[in-house]
Structure 1
Amino acid sequence: MTIALLILAAYALFAWLVFYKFQWLKFNIAWGVVTFWVGFHVLFLLVVFLRFFTPYTIDGHVIRQTIQIAPRLPHPTVLKEVFVAQNQKVKKGDKLYQFEKTLYEAQLLEAQANLASAQQNALILQEDIEVARDALLQAEANEQYASEQVKRYTDLVPRGGAKQETLDKWSAQLAAAQAQVAEGEANLKKAQLAADAQYDGVNAQVAAAQAQVDQAQYYVDQTTIYAPEDGVIISQQARPGLVVGGFRVGSIAAFVADADPYFLATFYQEHLKFVEPGMPVEVALDIYPGQIFTGKVTSIWDGTGQGQIIPRGRVPEFIFMSPQGRFAVEIHLDDDPALKRYPAGAHGAAAIYTGGGGDWVAVLRRVNMRLYTWVNFIVPFDV
């Protein structure tokens, strides 16, 4: 709008100079119609060229990655200490919050005791194998002895060298010994199966107990929250005495990361017809009136919320002539790629120079951008 008003003002000044100041032409109805018609087309062409060859927006913001600080505790737990203040800069690994850990340390101690018991049971299983093997050897020896006795008395009884009752006794003992061998083999197999119950080469009971120890240790560690990376705490509302865990799913603070910020500007979809990644950009940030920052187009986000239909039980409703969704353009600034000087949400205007339409189009847009940034010295009027 600003550049259009400037063009109209320049054209009006030109008409005033021609018809009134120097009176090169005499103004009449015909010249009035011609002047209006030419001015309208000049303005129309300039606006079209500017819109498509130097897309412009005042809807640009510095975007920074945010992390929601949310405790991951399964039981209601009291917040004991807060080590960070509102809007405080922190480094990765700095301690932020400390929660009561008595319950979780007790659970860890119990899990460690269960692990020690499971490890002992695993050793006992190996001993059970040896015991079952020894019992099987004894049963096999008894079977061998009883079998030899039965064979001996089977030869003696028909010749009168021994009584039938003695043969019957040893036959019964042989049957009992064979049963003991079968039982010993089953017990040995059972002991081996119990010892062979493993997960990834570790006894199953030991692995399960170790998993409980790891889980208990995880929750002990979660009672202390550390800064995930360099950044700043925003909206720090937590106070000692706050109870978290259990059914609480909300965050207690917002963490704004220093790394990987970017400038994001939204444009009308049709204005991005000739825009490609790598094209030069100028940005005017409201927090730095009078300054112009240069950069390049990183990427175009080809999509808006209007292109998504969320699964639900209702038929989608389409409103005729609803405002079109704008497409976002991600911009890389040259002078400070990390955007260290720019807080999250810093607002500004951006212009993309596609190189089309001639240099004069870019000149007009550059004038427009500089007018915007210099006007920021006095706008808004809230002195």
Structure 2
Amino acid sequence: MDLLLILTYAGICIAVFKIFNIPLTKWTVPTAVLGGIVIIGVLMILMNYNHPFTANARQVYTSVPIMPLVRGKVIEVPVRPNQLIKAGDVLFKLDPEPFEAVVEQREAEVAAAQQQVPQLLAQLASAQATTNAAKAERDRTQKAYQRYAEGRKKGGKNSPFTELEVENRQQAYLAAEAQLQVAQANQTNAQLAYDSQINGVNTNVARLQSQLDKALFDLEQTVVHAPTDGYVTQLGLRKGMVAVPMPLRPVMTFIPKEESIFVGAFWENSIKRLKEGDEAEFIVTAQPGIVFKGTVVQVMPTIAEGEFQANGSLLGAEAFFVHSRSLVIIDPEPRFDEFDFPMGISGQVAIYTEHFHHVSMIRKVLLRMQGWVNYIFPFH
């Protein structure tokens, strides 16, 4: 861009010297040179601060790495590369047989656990009956013991009940009391087993049902679908390959169908007056001679060259020697998408602010001249 401005001034000077027959003297030539330095210098300063230009611009897009959530052998890859597909279309399939076997096993376990619930109720009823019988036996032996003990106490030596008989009745009562405690403990265990629930479902059934749900989820993951509208590019996945979720190794790259954005890398002293909504124009190498319009969406608030992370490594002085640029996001006009360019093409961007707006005309002319230069391949 600077060279074009210099060549344009040189061409104007030559034309003026030729048309007006101005002699080449020690006064005219230095005057033309110094005048060019002043004029071009002033114009460059005004344009660089108010209507910056960068030759480092590119269309950017997001790619989605596709990887399965389960391990399996690829049995089908119905998707075709570089063809637009809809969200939900099948990208590839894994062998479902191992996962179907796990699902059947979990279903059998859930069914068995569900059948155990009535058994728990029957066990509880049996434990309650045993408790009732033990309680009745305890009450009977208790009354017999009390009757023998009172008879022995009242009759004294003339009592019909001997000391041994009283002791036997006491032992029988204590044994019945112990049996009742065992029966009550068994009833409590049966009650707890039957009442063990979560959200109204037996805990064992709920646990096995969660395992079944996980098995069903894994079975669903054997069919991988497109996350959004888009296409797969540089497809290398083939039938018979083994796809694994870990380590994280994507098996294909999916490109979502999204609105285009253009990003220009500007020198930091060129972004001082840029703001959202400023007018922008850009040219692309793939389409010489055409200027596209756009709008500034955002001046990125961060610069990658200044980044560091807590990873145990110190930041060296060489990190400060890198010349950094600030990224500016450009929203291109709808006409840009009509050309169906490959994603990621490069270009050059000029932004026009509201300051010294009349000077922007020179920048626009230079940008169009640069677009014509793109016809000449050796310049790239």
TM-score if structure 2 supplies the norm length?
0.89
Structure 2 unaligned runs (5+)?
Answer: none
Paired position in structure 1 for 2:80: 85
Structure 1 residues 309 and 246: CA distance shift in structure 2, 3 A? closer
CA distance in 2, matches of 1:231, 1:338: 15
- Taking structure 1 as reference, are residues 200 and 264 closer, same or farther at Cα in structure 2, changes over 3 Å only? farther
CA distance in 2, matches of 1:65, 1:14: 46
What corresponds to 1:147 in structure 2?
A: 142
Structure 1 residue 277, shift from structure 2 partner: 1.1
- Equivalence map 1:321-360=2 (5 Å): 322-335=321-334, 341-359=340-358
Aligned twin of 1:366? 364
Cα deviation digits, residues 346-371 of structure 1 (max 9, x gap): 22222111121231x21111112222
* Structure 1 residues not aligned, in runs of 5+: none
**Matching residue of 1:186:** 185
Aligned positions of 1:120-269 closer than 5 A: 120-157=115-152, 158-159=154-155, 160-245=159-244, 249-269=248-268
CA deviation profile, 1:60-94 (whole Å, cap 9, x unmatched)? 222222111212224xx321111012222211111
Q: What is the CA-CA distance between 1:129 and the residue it aligns to?
A: 2.8
SS across alignment from 1:297: strand
More divergent stretch after superposition (40-49 vs 300-309): 300-309
**TM-superposed deviation, 1:19:** 5.0
Asked if the contact 1:93–1:226 (Cα under 8 Å) also holds between the matched residues in 2, the reply is yes
For 1:144-191, what per-residue CA distance to the aligned partner results, in whole angstroms no more than 9, with x for missing partners? 222222222223233324444443332112111211222223223323
CA distance 1:216–1:337, shift in 2 (3 Å) = farther
1:207-242 deviation line (CA, Å, top 9, x unaligned): 221221122112211211111111111111111111
For residues 11-26 of structure 1, what are the structure 2 equivalents within 5 Å?
11-16=9-14, 19=17, 21-23=19-21
Higher mean alpha-carbon deviation, 257-266 vs 109-118, is at 257-266
Partner of 1:116: 111
In structure 2, the partner of 1:29 is 26
Q: Distance in 1 between matches of 2:317 and 2:230?
A: 42
Q: Choose the corresponding residue for 1:73, options 59, 70, 73.
A: 70
Structure 1 residue 248, shift from structure 2 partner: 5.3
Preserved contact between residue 113 and residue 204 of structure 2 (Cα < 8 Å): yes
Deviation of 1:313 after TM superposition, in Å, equals: 3.9
Given that residues 283 and 293 in structure 1 are in contact (C-alpha distance below 8 angstroms), is that contact kept between their aligned partners in structure 2?
yes
Structure 1 pair 321/149, CA: closer, same or farther in 2 (3 Å)? closer
**Quick one: distance in 2 between partners of 1:26 and 1:338?**
53
Kindly indicate whether residue 36 of structure 2 is the aligned counterpart of residue 39 of structure 1. yes
Residue type of the alignment partner of 2:174: A
- Distance in 1, Cα, partners of 2:237 & 2:256: 19
Conservation of the 8 A alpha-carbon contact between 2:74 and 2:93: yes
Mapped partners of 1:320, 1:221: distance in 2: 48
The change in CA–CA distance for 1:378 and 1:322 in structure 2 (over 3 A counts) is same
Asked if 1:281 corresponds to 2:276, the answer is: no
Q: Which residue of structure 1 lines up, in the alignment, with residue 303 of structure 2?
A: 304
**More deviation in 125-134 or 50-59?**
125-134
Which deviates more, 363-372 or 243-252?
243-252
Q: Secondary structure at the match of 1:91?
A: coil
1:376 to 368, 374, 377: 374
Q: Which segment drifts farther, 141-150 or 162-171?
A: 162-171
1:324 to 1:34, Cα distance in 2 relative to 1, 3 A:
same
1:274-321 residue CA offsets vs partner (Å, 9 max, x unmatched): 111111111223333332222211112122332222334443212287
| Superposition misfits of 4+ residues, deviation over 6 angstroms | 337-340
Scaled by the length of structure 1, the TM-score of the pair is 0.88
Q: CA deviation at 1:246?
A: 7.2
The separation in 2 between residues aligned to 1:336 and 1:185, in whole angstroms, is 84
Q: For the Cα contact (< 8 Å) 2:138–2:173, is it kept in 1? A: yes
Question: Could you say if the C-alpha distance between residues 111 and 339 of structure 1 is closer, same or farther in structure 2, counting changes exceeding 3 Å?
Answer: farther
2:6 is aligned to: 8
Q: Which amino acid in the other structure matches residue 45 of structure 2?
A: V
The 1:203/1:372 distance shift into structure 2, 3 A limit, reads farther
Structure 2 partner of 1:60:
57
1:170 is matched by which residue type in structure 2? R
Distance 1:320 1:189, change over 3 A: closer
- Do 1:259 and 1:338's aligned partners in 2 also have CA atoms closer than 8 Å? no
Q: What secondary structure does 1:319 align onto?
A: helix
Shift of 1:16: 4.1
Alpha-carbon deviations, 1:100-137, whole Å to 9, x = none? 11111111111111122222334433333333222222
Alignment partners' CA distance in 1, 2:129 and 2:236: 69
Gap change, CA 1:98 and 1:368, over 3 Å in 2:
same
Aligned residues: 376
What amino acid is the match of 1:99?
L
1:301–1:108 Cα change, 3 Å: same
Corresponding residue for 2:98?
103
